[in-house]
Chains A and B, each alone.
Chain A
Amino acid sequence: MKIKKAEKSPYLKTSFAKDMVIEAFDTPFRKKCAVLGFFVLVGFPFVASGYFVHIANLIAISCIGALALNLLCGNAGLLSLGHAGFMASGAFTTAIMTLHFKMPIWIVLPVSGVVGAMLGFIAGLPSLRLKGIYLGLSTLAMHHLIHYGCSEYQFHGGFGFGIRIEDPRIGPLILADDRVWYFVLWVLVGLTALYIKNLLRSRPGRAWIAIHNRDIAAEIIGINIGYYKVLAFIVSSMITAMAGSLYSYYTNVASIDEYSFMLTIYYLAMIIVGGMGSILGSLMGAFLITILPFTFLYIFDFFEVSGVMKNFFFAVRSGIFGVVIILFLLIEPLGLAEIWRRVRTFFQLWPFRFKPLQVTKR
Chain B
Amino acid sequence: MQFLTSVIVLSCVYAILASGFVVIYRSSRILNFSYADVVMLIGYFSVTMLELIGGPPVISLAIVLIVSFLFGLVIYALLIRPMAGQPIFSTIILTVALGIILQAFTILVWRGELESISLGWRQYYSLFEGIRLASTEIVIIITTILFFIALSGFYRFSRIGHQMRATAENTLLAAQRGINIYFVTALAWAIGIFATGIASILLGSNYAVSLYMGHVAIKAFSVALVGGLDSIKGIIPAAFIVALTELAASNYINPRLADTMPFIIMLTVLLIRPWGLWGTEEEIERV
**B254 to A, closest residue via Cβ:** A152
Contact (Cβ within 8 A) A329 B90: yes
How far does the Cβ of A139 sit from chain B's closest Cβ, in whole Å? 10
Contact yes or no, B264 A268, CB < 8 A:
no
Asked if A203 is an interface residue, CB under 8 A from chain B, the answer is no
Q: Quick one: closest B residue to A123, CB to CB? A: B267
Q: How far is the CB of A151 from chain B (nearest CB, A)?
A: 7
Q: Is the CB of A329 within 8 A of B93?
A: yes
- The residue of chain B having its C-beta at the shortest distance from the C-beta of A327 within the complex is B97
User: Do A145 and B111 have beta carbons less than 8 Å apart?
Assistant: no
Which residue on A lies nearest to B93, using beta carbons? A268
Within 8 Å of chain A (Cβ to Cβ): is B66? Answer: no
On chain B, which size bracket covers the interface?
Answer: 35 or more
| Cross-chain contact B100 with A318 (CB below 8 angstroms) | yes
Q: Which residues of A contact B264 (CB under 8 A)?
A: 141, 145
Which single residue of chain A is at the shortest CB-CB distance from B102? A322
Residue of A with least CB distance to B36: A261
Given A141-B263, A316-B104, A318-B104, is A326 in contact with B94 using a C-beta cutoff of 8 Å? Answer: yes
Establish whether residues A126 and B270, one from each chain, have CB atoms under 8 Å apart when the complex forms: yes
Among residues 253 to 289 in chain A, which have CB atoms less than 8 Å away from a CB atom of chain B? 262, 265, 268-269, 272
A265 touches B90 (CB 8 A): no
Check if A126 sits within 8 Å of B111, measured CB to CB.
no
Q: Is B108 an interface residue (CB 8 A)?
A: yes
Q: How far is the CA of A127 from the CA of B286 in the complex (A)?
A: 10
Known: A308-B111, A315-B103, A315-B108. A321 touches B89 (CB 8 A): no
Does B149 sit within 8 A of A, measured CB to CB? no
Q: Is the CB of B285 within 8 A of A322?
A: no
Chain B, range 61-88, C-beta contacts under 8 Å to A? 79, 82-83, 86, 88
Chain B, residues 206-228, CB within 8 Å of chain A (1/0): the string is 00000000000000011001000
CA distance A130 to B286 in the complex (A): 7
Give A138 to B256 CA distance when docked, in angstroms. Answer: 21
With known contacts A137-B266, A141-B264, A315-B108, A73–B256 Cβ distance under 8 A: no
CB pairs A–B below 8 angstroms (17 shown) = A79-B92, A129-B286, A132-B89, A137-B31, A140-B221, A141-B270, A147-B260, A152-B256, A155-B256, A226-B287, A308-B108, A308-B111, A312-B107, A318-B103, A321-B100, A323-B101, A325-B94
Q: Which residues of A contact B (CB under 8 A)?
A: 73, 77, 79, 125-134, 136-138, 140-142, 144-145, 147-148, 151-152, 155, 215, 225-226, 262, 265, 268-269, 272, 308-309, 312, 315-319, 321-323, 325-326, 329-330, 333
Nearest 3 pairs of A and B residues by beta carbon: A319-B104, A322-B101, A325-B97
